[in-house]
Chains A and B, each alone.
Chain A
Amino acid sequence: MQKLVVVALNSLLAAGLYATMSYGLAVIYGVMRIINLAHAGLMMLAAYATFALNDRFALDPFLSIGIVAPAFFLIGMGLYATLIRWLPRSSAGPSMQSLLLLFGVWLVLQNLAYSIWGGDTQSILTPYTMESIPLLGGRFGVPQILVFLASILSLVGLNLVLRRTFLGKAIRAVTQNRDAAMLSGVNAGQIAAVAFGIGTAFAAMAGSMLSTLYAFTPDFGRSFLLKAFCIIVLGGMESFTGVAVGALVLAFIENFASAYTSIPVSYQDAISFTLLVVVLVAAPGGLPGLWRTFDRRVVAR
Chain B
Amino acid sequence: MTALLRRHPLLPLGVLFGAFLLLAPTFTGRGTQNDLWNMAFFVVLAAAWNLLGGFAGQVSLGYSAFVGIGAYTTVLLSKAGWSPWLTLPVGAALAVAFSVAVGLPTFRLRGPYFTIATIGVGEAVRVIASGLEFTGGSSGLRMPAGTFDFLANYYAMVGLALATLVLVAWLTQHAFGLALEAIRQDIDGAEALGVHSTQVKLQAHAISSALVALAGGLFATNFQYISPGSVFDFRLSLTIVLMPIIGGMGTLTGPVLGAMLFSILQIKLLASPALRDSYLFIYGGLLIVVMLFEPRGIMGLLERLWTRLARRQVPAVAESPGAG
- Residues on A lying within 8 angstroms of B by beta carbon are 35, 83, 86-87, 93-101, 103-112, 114-115, 222-223, 226, 229, 264, 266-267, 269-270, 273-274, 276-278, 280-281, 284
Contacts and interface: CB of A to CB of B under 8 A. Distances in A.
B127 interface: yes
B284 A105 contact: yes
Given A111-B278, A223-B123, A276-B120, A105 B131 contact: no
Contact of A96 (B57, B106, B278): B57
Contacts of B113: 280, 284
Contacts of B280: 107-108, 110-111, 114
Contacts of B120: 226, 273-274, 276-277
B287 A101 contact: yes
Interface string B264-284: 000000000000011111011
A111 B117 contact: no
Contact of A104 (B117, B278, B288): B288
A281 B111 contact: no
Interface residues of B, number: 38
B292 interface: yes
B245 interface: yes
B116 interface: yes
Nearest to B280: A111
A35 B106 CA distance: 18
A99 B280 CA distance: 17
Contact of B124 (A86, A105, A270, A284): A270
B287 A277 contact: no
5 contacts: A83-B288, A101-B287, A107-B284, A274-B120, A280-B109
B59 interface: yes
B23 interface: no
Contact of A229 (B108, B109, B116, B245): B116
B111 A96 contact: yes
Contacts of B127: 266-267, 269-270
A101 B284 CA distance: 8
A190 B181 CA distance: 37
B171 interface: no
A107 B292 contact: no
B115 interface: yes
Contacts of B234: 222
B189 interface: no
A93 B111 contact: yes
Contacts of B9: none
A94 B111 contact: yes
B291 A104 contact: yes
